[in-house]
Structure 1
Amino acid sequence: MAYDIERYLDIRGAGDPTYGPTGELAFTLGTTGTAQVWALGAPGAWPTQLTFHDERVQWASFSPTREELAYGMDTGGDEFTQLHRVSGDGSEDVQLTAFPDAKHDWGGWSHDGDRIAYTANRRDASRFDVYVQGRDEAGANADCVRVGDTFDLPSVVGWSPSDDRLLVVDTHSNFDQDVAVLDVDTGEITRATAGLDADTRFSWVAWAPDGGGVYVTTDHDADTRYLGLLDPETGAISRVADGGDWPIEAVVTAHDAGRLAYVRNRDGYSELTIADAAGTTLTEQPTPELPDGVIRGLSWGPDGDTLAVVVSAATENPNVFVVDVATGAATQWTNAATAGIPKSTFREPELVRYETFDGREIPALFTRPDGDGPHPVIVDFHGGPEGQRRPSFLSLRQYFVDNGYAVFEPNVRGSSGYGATYMNLDNVRNRMDAVADGKAGVEWLTARTDIDADRVVAYGGSYGGFMVLASLTEYPELWAAGVDIVGIANFVTFLENTGDWRREHRESEYGSLDADREFLESISPTNNADRIRAPLLVLHGANDPRVPVGEAERIVEQASAHVPVEKHVFDDEGHGFSKRANKQAAYRAVVDFLDDHA
């Protein structure tokens, strides 16, 4: 039986698990049409809804000492996130910050549950300051413990075990971060990694249980991220666990239990390790018995004897599992609905590699429908560009395959997950090499007898939207149609109009307006739209702060002179679609467009 697109969009996924002080679990779930906070006290129990908003809740975090949670929510996708506090039974919901033109990024609860930390750009739209606020205090009375003029883009990532210091990651670019320690009382900063070489990433950091060091996932002196122990006084990093050819991408610590957990990304699949930790010595616990897939959202139980994670697999929608540390046994706590679609109908992608123009091998996920074909194929470019398409659950992938399309998801150069060298191969003047990787993927596909070379669709969102538009302008003969979702159409106008806090960091990846303007104009799809030969569908959110809606308007104006173009702009959305009705309208438009043109 075939199901319509609306049914696939009703497949749910649980996310962002967070443990309460007495062992209950809260998580986000979109049962009502937008993600809200839910909680349950035992595996398989009927969950209780705690928040009731039309807007999506982005994340939630339980207090370590009280039956209450903090959570973040914006308005209409504008990303001006405000902080809220809700009681553990949902009876009291209090807005903690009320600065609708400022973005608030969560930094965590103090261990006594009395204070929260966060960064916000209230004072200057381009700068983030560090704030500490009492749990029952109004945001206007928060203490600005450090003005952000000494940072590029700081993120608070946790309180020390003694609650007197905050750990801060300062992002200079996508490939260069520093770690600092902020004294809460004095505002004094110790820049722990100031003496290290530039171009070092610290993608995940966590206080060691004793507060004397910091566990980091980093590529310092390496191409692939490993787990290290950073001395915050000297900046020295001691290796704790090597990733080998595959990066270690996350680490979390349980302070009282003296434990840590880390995740290795092996060709897109997650491997979870739990260990007792004493400095650089790890004593591994039994291997967790989890489904093969992608692990996200790690949260320690109150005693450090259990660990909650979300597992999403190609044929399994996201759910929360709880791992028993002593045995490795994992119990599924949530049962997010598949909208009545049998899981047995979901298809597993094949992990493939193909050769591109310079002899490199490009990894990709390839999912085929029933039958010998030849099938139409959707080439789905991920965003980022530092993202990675992984074997997690995608309802659209399953819909397309169930309706006769093959789906091809290449991790072109610039993708994360394959080391720093690979991730930086597309920077600035090498931008179009990534587009050439996409061309090579189409050539690999159309050499197969099960693919219809006349029915190849370019599809992608955000930076993936740029990949779609650039593919249509650079290699117009390859494509039957293109679908651009919140994509970059002109790098100059994008950089001029993106959020103030993002511009400098995006310039390090794409090129600067001062030094590279002519080059950026030359590769921008709006300036080459006369080359497009395929029909084009453009979808965008009116409130998008990352890729402003003007990008959609410009490419539609330029391309419609040459090919059929269809545009849909959603007034109450931002960088993507979070509301059920909007998702249904957007992806129904995609399905109808492909029915007409592919």
Structure 2
Amino acid sequence: MTAEMPNWPDWEKRFRAPRVSLPEWAEDAPDRSLFVSNATGTYELYAWDRATGEQRQVTDRPNGTTDGAVSPDGQWIWWFSDTDGDEFGVWMRQPFAADTGQGQGQGQGEGATGAGAVDEPAAPGLEPSYPAGLALGRDGRTAVVGRSTDEDGSTIHVVRAGEKPVEIYRHRESAGVGDLSYDGTLIAVEHTEHGDAMHSALRVVRLDGGTVAELDDSKGGVEELGLEVLGFAPVEGDTRLLVGHQRRGRWEPMVWDVATGEELDLALELPGDVGAEWYPDGSALLVVHSFEARSELFRFDLAERELIEVPTPKGSVSGATARPDGTVEYLWSSAAEPPQVRSTTGAVVLDPPGMKAPGSVPVEDVWVEGPGGRVHALVQRPAGAGPFPTIFEIHGGPTWHDSDAFAAGPAAWVDHGYAVVRVNYRGSTGYGREWTDALKHRVGLIELEDIAAVREWAVSSGLADPAKLVLSGGSWGGYLTLLGLGTQPDFWSLGLSAVPVADYVTAYHDEMEALKSMDRTLMGGTPEEVPERYEASSPLTYVDRVRAPLYISAGVNDPRCPIRQVENYVDRLAARDAVHEVYRYDAGHGSLVVEERIKQVRLELDFATRHLGVSPYRA
């Protein structure tokens, strides 16, 4: 007899419905894939043998696992083992074709793995660290591992089976592994040795660490430009490296031959940011074009220099890959329609069994004149006539952007009768390099100017009830929430801040090393070198001006927005009996456990209902 499905509201179903990531496939064994799913209620890694149809859960840990890779030969699955979401740990591995007989195997890392599987240290001899890139060789025995620690800065190691790891790179500034060439002889490294963590330079080295080629577009001052590794050509002996650059004020790809130094400028006439990856035979590129919060796909034939659209529905493609047979698989969604892994054959590639997520309402595009230019916002409206209680859901990053993609959190607020506004403030990606790089030295304050401009539109247009305006966000969005409540106390009726930067100076001293580099770039130095900038941008500076009821949630193991600086802020609220509530949970920078995510949204909804008097669930 089948158990009756619990009568969950739609907003909870969106979190609970099984979903999957875009499968990563093994380069030399394309039937073997690795993907992430929440099928058990926690996001974990799964192996999928396409030839047999068999799927197997690879990891099974209390706080989930999402960082993994399948080796090019399809023999091994690597996964990163940290402690309760602190992002500090070691790489483990297990055979792809693990015994799936009865019984539960016990891994040697933290937590148990899938049925019958046994894990082993993937890079014995390397001490725990924060991960900084991973590239696996086609020979089945070579890996290039990037690491980051407070003591060592950034290091890169060549790891061969049965041998002691060899360090080939070390620097105090942030750096990481970009890719390993198809023949396993060249390593592409992204580094910020010039001190600007927002704009990487590239170095290609041999496995002994000797330099083969350099590419550096940083020029100092306001003209600094970034580069990123998109991947070596997947062809034996091919020394072409696909590179992302910003030479024309946006991200776009070019092909750099690291042996000859020749650069092939693709000059793709597409607005917005353009990324790419190789087709498996190296003859073409799969181009991902992101513009005004939506994305589309193209095939670019390198010989013919021809750009051909790969049809996808209107919305957002959050990942895409070209298969050996020439088809393209992609993860697509829109604000109104839940995500699916689709193929250009017309098929749904990977459809998890069980409950399907209910849809939501589509987004509307709004453009508002701000102090730094036109600001793009995405708006979702509930049924009925406004003005509505309105929540400004502020994205994290800051180098990220909200898009026309499915998101269970905003959909929950719409179900409860709120309008949802998401703002792609200065600092967001997808609107050109100048827009992304605008944050320097007035960090936080610049973003809030753009948010304030959209807030003014929301009220004057009749969308938002000015007495029921919520400022909300997680990570950088949580930081902007606290800073906004303190610097714009008359604008907001309530605040919801998740895993925030709350005390910028303490956060700098406690956070992971890579984020220290980013803060030095944004602020122009350390807290000791430019104390006035950290003070001006720290929510703690304005905590005594906060008047709106405030709800804060934080992970006690968070390495990005550490708990001590959150406690400093909370202590100041408590000292003056400010209306606030704090929820601390045993995880890192957010949770991979579905029930925990639902609990957090439920607590936020309840807090807003009690303090704003908004009627409860309407859908």
Regarding TM over 0.5, the answer is: yes
Q: Distance in 2 between matches of 1:366 and 1:378?
A: 10
Question: Any conservation in 1 of the 2:291–2:431 contact (CA below 8 Å)?
Answer: no
Q: Report the Cα offset of residue 146 of structure 1.
A: 0.8
Q: Note the alpha carbon deviations across 1:543-562, whole angstroms, 9 max, x for none.
A: 11111112221221222325
Cα-to-partner distance string for 1:112-150 (whole Å, 9 max, x where unaligned): 33322211236x63422212223x55xxx542241313x
Q: Deviation per CA, 1:511-555, whole angstroms, max 9, x where unpaired?
A: 422332123213322121121110000000011111111222122
Distance 1:404 1:121 in 2: 45
The answer to whether the 8 A contact 2:143-2:159 is kept is: yes
1:224 aligned partner = 250
- Verify: 1:377 aligned to 2:377, yes or no: no
Distance in 2 separating the partners of 1:145 and 1:308: 37
Shift of 1:406: 0.5
Partner of 1:64: 72
> Do the aligned residues in 1 keep the contact of 2:444 with 2:483 (CA within 8 Å)?
no
Cα separation, 1, equivalents of 2:431 and 2:197: 15
SS at match of 1:424: helix
Q: Contact 2:297 / 2:311 at 8 angstroms: preserved in 1? A: no
Contact 2:33 2:49 in 1 (8 A): yes
* Separation in structure 2 between the aligned mates of residue 274 and residue 266 of structure 1, nearest angstrom: 17
Identity within the alignment, %: 23
Match of 1:332 among 348, 351, 363: 348
**Deviates further, 585-594 or 424-433:** 424-433
Counterpart pick for 1:73 among 66, 70, 81: 81
In structure 2, C-alpha distance between the alignment counterparts of 1:334 and 1:508, rounded to whole Å: 41
Contact 1:178 1:193 in 2 (8 A): yes
For the structure 1 residues 340 and 517, does the alpha-carbon distance in structure 2 shift closer, same or farther, using more than 3 Å as the test? same
Alpha-carbon distance change, 15 to 315 in structure 1, aligned in 2, over 3 angstroms? same
| 1:568 maps onto 2:594 in alignment | no
2:523 is the counterpart of 1:500: no
Residue 565 of structure 1: how far off its partner (Å): 0.6
Match 2:144 to one of 117, 122, 134: 117
Distance 1:317 1:71, change over 3 A: farther
Which amino acid is the alignment partner of residue 480 of structure 1? S
Residue number among 285, 288, 296 corresponding to 2:310 in the alignment: 288
Partner SS for 1:550: helix
In structure 2, the partner of 1:593 is: 607
- Aligned AA for 2:347? T
Q: 1:348 to 1:100 in 2, by over 3 A?
A: farther
- Is residue 277 of structure 1 aligned with residue 302 of structure 2? yes
Residue 310 to residue 546, structure 1, CA distance change in 2 (3 Å): same
More divergent stretch after superposition (40-49 vs 263-272): 40-49
Tell me how far apart the structure 1 counterparts of residues 25 and 435 of structure 2 sit (CA, whole Å): 37
Determine the structure 1 residue equivalent to 2:105.
none
User: 2:215 aligns to what SS in structure 1?
Assistant: coil
- The residue number in structure 2 matching 1:240 is 266
Match of 1:342 in 2: 358
Q: Matches of 1:338 and 1:44 in 2, distance apart?
A: 21
Counterpart of 1:326 in structure 2 is none
Match for 1:436 among 449, 456, 460? Answer: 449
- Taking a change above 3 Å as real, the CA distance of residues 142 and 313 of structure 1, as seen in their structure-2 partners, is farther
Work out which of the residue numbers 169, 174, 177 in structure 1 matches 2:200: 177
Among 30, 45, 54, the alignment partner of 1:37 is 45
- Contact map agreement 1:192 1:234 (CA 8 A) in 2: no
SS class of match (2:389) = strand
1:582 to 576, 586, 596: 596
Paired position in structure 2 for 1:545: 559
2:19 to 8, 13, 37: 13
Partner of 1:477, secondary structure, is coil
CA distance in 1, matches of 2:392, 2:610: 17
Judged with a 3 Å threshold, the aligned counterparts in structure 2 of structure 1 residues 597 and 421 are, in CA distance, closer, same or farther, namely same
CA distance in 2, matches of 1:254, 1:473: 50
Structure 1's 45 and 509: CA in aligned 2 closer, same or farther, altered over 3 A? same
CA displacement 1:25-60 (0-9 Å, x = unmatched): 331101112222224455996743333332322233
Relative to structure 1, the CA distance from residue 538 to residue 338 in structure 2 (aligned partners, 3 Å threshold; closer, same or farther) is farther
Q: How does 1:84-103 map to 2 (within 5 A)?
A: 84-91=92-99, 92-95=117-120, 96-97=122-123, 101-103=128-130
Contact conserved, 2:155 with 2:169, CA < 8 A, in 1? yes
Matched, 1:305 2:322: no
Q: Secondary structure at the match of 1:428?
A: coil
Number of the residue aligned with 1:489 = 502
The 1:338–1:431 alpha-carbon spacing in structure 2 relative to 1, beyond 3 Å, is farther
Output the CA distance in 1 between the equivalents of 2:581 and 2:355. 30
Matched, 1:365 2:378: yes
| Farther-moved stretch of structure 1 (197-206 vs 552-561) | 197-206
The letter of the residue matching 2:239 is G
* Shift in CA distance, 9/61, structure 1 to aligned 2, threshold 3 Å: same
Per the alignment, in what secondary structure is the counterpart of residue 31 of structure 2?
coil
Deviation (angstroms), 1:97: 4.2
C-alpha displacement of 1:81: 4.1
SS of the residue aligned with 2:600?
Answer: helix
Cα-to-partner distance string for 1:62-88 (whole Å, 9 max, x where unaligned):
222234322223221101143222333
Displacement of 1:567 in angstroms is 0.3
Q: Give the corresponding residue for 2:134.
A: 107
Change (3 A) 1:100 1:554: farther
In the alignment, is residue 203 of structure 1 matched against residue 203 of structure 2?
no
Structure 1 residue aligned with 2:103:
none
Distance 1:309 1:86, change over 3 A: farther
Offset at residue 382 of structure 1 (A): 0.8
Distance 1:498 1:109 in 2: 29
Task: Write the distance in 2 (CA, Å) between the matches of 1:132 and 1:559.
Answer: 49
CA separation of 1:235/1:506 partners in 2, compared to 1, >3 Å: closer, same or farther?
farther
Distance 1:429 1:463 in 2: 14
Q: Secondary structure at the match of 2:472?
A: strand
The equivalences for 1:230-269 within 5 A come to: 230-232=256-258, 237-242=263-268, 244-248=270-274, 250-254=275-279, 256-269=281-294
**1:467-482 correspondence to structure 2 within 5 Å:** 467-482=480-495
* CA pair 209-48 structure 1, distance change in 2 beyond 3 A: closer
Which whole-Å deviations, capped at 9, do the CAs of 1:213-268 have from their partners, x for residues lacking one?
A: 22212102x211222122435756431133543111x3222454533212111112
Structure 2 residue runs without a partner (length 5+): 1-6, 100-116, 613-619
C-alpha displacement of 1:191: 4.5
Counterpart contact for 1:190–1:232, Cα < 8 Å: yes
Following the alignment from structure 1 to structure 2, what is the Cα–Cα distance between the partners of residues 173 and 28?
Answer: 33
What SS is found at the alignment partner of 1:558? helix
Q: 1:158-216 deviations in whole A, cap 9, x for unaligned?
A: 211221111111135343111111101x3202342147635221234222345232221
CA contact (8 A) 1:69 1:86 kept: yes
**What TM-score comes out, normalization by structure 2 length?**
0.86
What are the Cα deviations for residues 466-487 of structure 1, in whole angstroms up to 9, with x where unaligned? 2111111111111110011111
**AA partner of residue 272 (structure 1):** L
Specify the SS of the correspondent of 2:530: helix
Task: Name the CA shift for 1:336/1:559 in 2 (closer, same or farther; >3 Å).
Answer: farther
Structure 2 counterpart of 1:229, which letter? V
Distance in 1 (CA, whole Å) between partners of 2:503 and 2:72 is 46
Gaps of 5+ in 1: 324-328
CA-based RMSD of the aligned residues comes to 2.6
From 27, 31, 42, the equivalent of 2:35 is: 27
Contact 2:133 2:177 in 1 (8 A): yes
